[in-house]
Amino acid sequence: MWDNLLRVDWGRLTHAYGWACDVPGMLRDMVADDQKVRDKAWDNFGAAVNHQGDFYDSTVAAVPFLIEAAADPAMPDRVAILDYCRERWLEAPHYGGDPLVPEPPGGFDDPTPFLEDGAFAAQQGATARDDGGKQEDEEFDIGNYRRMDLCAWQTGRAIQAGQTVFERLLDDPDRAVAAAAAMLLLMWPQTRAAAKPTLIRAIAQEPDPSAQSQRILEFGVYAASGDHDTLLRWLGPEHPSTVRTAAALVLAWLADPAPLPAPAAAVLEMTSQRGSDAFAQLPWVGVFQRGPWIMPANAASLMVLLAENDNKELRWRAVQGLSLGHVTAHHLSAAQVVPVLLERLSDDYNRIRAAAAVALAQRGEEVLNLAPDAVPILIGALDGHRSRDWGDPHHGLDSDASICGHAGRLLAALSPRLTMLQRQLALTKVERAIARYAHQSEAYVTFDTMSVPVSSALQEPRDRLELPRDWELADLLAACAIPVRQEQLSPPDSDRRLATAYAHQPDQVIAAAIEAVRTGGRWSVMGAAQWLATLGPAAEKALPALDAIAGGPLDSYAQDQVSRASKFIRQSVVIARQGDQVASAAHADVAAHLRIAAEASLEGAASAIPQLEHMLDDEAFVEIGIAGPFECGGRLVHWRHERRSPRRAAVHALFAVGHMPPGDRMLAAVLAEAVHAQAICNSLAEPPRFTVAQWRSAVEAAGGLMIAEPRIRAARQRCLCEPWPGHAGPQVCEAELAGLIRVLSGRLGPTAR
């Protein structure tokens, strides 16, 4: 085995710490007889060749040797090797190297270097070079690193090249090896049918309920309608509760967004009760990869039950999942969530109480609307009771500080609705908390994306409780500065209040925003600039103030934010004027094309189909400005510009009349439109929306997923490279196409990548 290990010119390859001359020694030790030697070698390999998940050219070179080792029944740790290959293949797209994209990043597939015969013979006599690396006095230049996206792509391709080896391992007498090979082969549609029976057999033969549950959850990522009966069998009362829970969760994902099947609903109802430990025992893998933070919409209500579970770790995770930063919380109403969060403010453990305080503060006035008796509970949370938290000995302090900070800022937000007695009591307790933490510099209030010293975080709540007032325009504008900033109002709340004020007194609100740009502090300036940009051409009068402040004493980040707002407003003015004039012939041509598409979507439009098919190749477009409230990327704007093209109109019209051109013309047109923003609103972009059914029709016409998926993945990769605003924006476009790949590839749950 490994006859060519030293034929690889490891001295020209790299890892996290420089030259990769020591990798052959690592690989040998990773399959050594001694378990301790293997463990140390895997640690060293992970630290150097996969440092923090990165990819290097040594990663690429090592994979074929690891696959060869996995194929040898005499080798140890074959399951670990197969699991390693699976994780690396899944991670490659996140580093810009999707292995299903046919072309390598950068356009050139830099090969692994091999030694010529003479150089190989010379190296055989210099054994020190095998494990010792290059001479210590040789300086390493970071320019020797191969680009990481290419290394990720090459690593994935090397793993994919091992499919025939993995398929042979499905019949391996070692059940764990066969199961690991099956889970690896599940990732590729062409090998999935062969992998499933092996994994199902391994689950049935596995005596350990924890291992059974893990494999069911992994199986569930690729479950399909044909697996329904198999999953139902695992719900039987003869199976352990964790196995039944795992199978029920997979059935929930399989049914989503339709209601839960009755047998699965019954199991989940039972195993999510307070005294059950089934969810606490589930491994965080497969469709349960992020635990209770992510549930299908049809099982989101389980979060409310799990937030009261006897297991404190599970209870903490479930309460965290009720925060609006997690997707499952958006499937639940405030009426479902607020009572649970208020109850958890009295939990025995500070970390759970802190998570409840964070989630409550995000709900703002809804808390008082739904629970008029919430104020005494929030005031009580300011007392700072320490509890027996687990883990870091300083964590109890941070949790305690977060509870006080979030309870204080929620009370401050509600201060105009508090009675005089409630305000006075809250003020007293906030002042006590400030004094309590005055000399504890390590105590912070933790938000989703930042932490703030508790003494400063409580100062504004203290001031608002002392002199209660409603939120002024300056406060609302400052809250717009950074969308994720949470110390004061949440972005949706500030958007709503500003929109109301702007609807009633537009000129006065614009004037206040301009004044904030001229005289406000850093947050006010950035927030006012960002809000003015949401108005588009209506904010033209603010340009002199924005230009003046952009070249002033602000730090570079703030200047960039103001400059971007100014640039967007100028672009909006130009677009608005062009839209009014409709001067160019190109615009007129596009308008004519759009009219054809609009008419063709009506009944009896068969005669227009040839014209519509011709429009699929038309890349012309116009940009028009549209005034009016519009939610873009979760933020409320008052003006956006839209990109309208004959190609997109033709796509929608052909879908509407039920006509699918043969070949890949529709797929090509839909992909071309998918990478362009349909609407651009300030710094946000909205992608075009095509339904899954529409995508599936285009994919089938192009020859099926095997042909179409590489093209979709290539488009997704381009999204990561294209600058905004010409395209839909890296995060938006990539997320859209990644979700499409997940659905079309038959993948369920949060592990789909």
Express each pLDDT in 370-380 by its tens digit. Answer: 999 999 999 99
pLDDT at 19 over 80: yes
Confidence of residue 128 (pLDDT cuts 50, 70, 90): very low
Given a cut of 50, is residue 392 above it in pLDDT? no
Residue 585 has pLDDT above 70, yes or no: no
Looking at residues 345-354, what average pLDDT do you find? 92
pLDDT higher than threshold 90 for residue 687: no
553 pLDDT above the threshold of 50: yes
pLDDT of residue 257: 84
pLDDT of residue 130: 47
Q: Specify the pLDDT at position 584.
A: 47
Judged against a pLDDT cut of 90, whether residue 332 lies above it is answered with yes
pLDDT confidence of residue 399: 79
For residue 619, report the phi and psi dihedrals to the nearest 5 degrees: -95, 0
How confident is residue 131, by pLDDT bands cut at 50, 70 and 90? very low
Binning pLDDT at 50, 70 and 90, where does residue 600 land? Answer: low
Write the pLDDT tens digit of every residue in 419-471: 999 999 999 999 999 999 988 888 888 876 678 888 888 998 999 899 887 77
Q: Give the separation between CA 547 and CA 557, rounded to whole angstroms.
A: 15
pLDDT at res. 737:
78
In angstroms, the CA 331 to CA 296 distance is 9
Name the more confident of 689 and 748: 689
Angle between helix 312-321 and helix 350-363 axes, rounded to 10 deg: 10
**Omega before 416 within 30 of 0, i.e. cis:** no
pLDDT at position 133 is: 46
* pLDDT tens-digit readout, 621-662: 888 899 999 988 778 899 998 888 889 888 988 988 888 999
Q: What is the 3-state secondary structure (H, E, C) of 151-199?
A: HHHHHHHHHHCCHHHHHHHHHCCCHHHHHHHHHHHCCCHHHHHHHHHHH
Place of tokens 């009944």: 603
pLDDT at 698: 92
CB 63 within 8 A of CB 50: no
pLDDT tens digits for range 153-211? 999 999 999 999 999 999 999 999 999 999 999 998 889 999 999 999 999 999 999 99
pLDDT exceeds 80 at position 699: yes
Helix (H) or strand (E) holding 372: none
Task: Give 467-515 pLDDT, tens digit per residue.
Answer: 887 778 888 888 888 654 555 566 677 888 899 999 999 999 999 999 9
Q: With residue 322 as reference, give the H or E element that holds it.
A: none
Distances (CA, A) of 158 to 31, 63, 444, 542, 752: 20, 7, 46, 56, 21
Query: Alpha-carbon distance 577 to 537, whole Å?
Result: 9
Does 752 score more than 60 pLDDT?
no
Tell me the mean pLDDT in the region 343-353: 92
Per-residue tokens: 298: 């049809």
Highest mean pLDDT of the ranges 33-47, 385-399, 685-699 = 33-47
In the chain, the domains with their CATH numbers are 5-161 (no CATH), 237-245+252-478 (1.25.10), 491-573 (no CATH), 585-744 (no CATH)
Q: Helices 148-160 and 57-70 meet at what angle, rounded to 10?
A: 20
Q: Which residues contact 650 (CB under 8 A, 6 or more apart)?
A: 593, 597, 600, 612, 613, 615, 616, 618, 669
Contact in structure between 700 and 663 (CB atoms under 8 Å): no
Give me the mean pLDDT over the 546-562 stretch: 87
Say which DSSP state 261 is in. Answer: P
Q: pLDDT by residue (tens digit) across 509-549?
A: 999 999 999 998 888 899 999 999 999 999 999 999 999 98
Q: What is the pLDDT of residue 726?
A: 46
Q: Report the alpha-carbon distance of residue 41 to residue 65 in Å, rounded.
A: 15
DSSP state of 297: G
Say whether 685 sits in a helix, a strand or coil.
strand
Amino acid 678 reads Q
Average pLDDT, integer, range 273-296: 92
The pLDDT value given to residue 135: 43
* ω into 257 cis (within 30 of 0): yes
Our CA angle for 630, 565, 633, nearest 5°, is 35
The whole model's pTM is what? 0.81
Average pLDDT value over all residues in the chain: 86
Task: Please give the span between the terminal C-alpha atoms of the chain, in angstroms, as a whole number.
Answer: 33
Is residue 555 packed enough to be buried (19+ CB in 10 Å), middle (13-18) or exposed (0-12)?
Answer: exposed
How crowded is residue 101: how many other Cβ atoms within 10 Å of its Cβ?
Answer: 23
Closest CA to 250 of 212, 276, 197: 212
Closest CA to 81 of 113, 38, 112: 38
Maximum average pLDDT range among 416-425, 580-589, 735-744: 416-425
Distance CA 373, CA 350 (A): 22
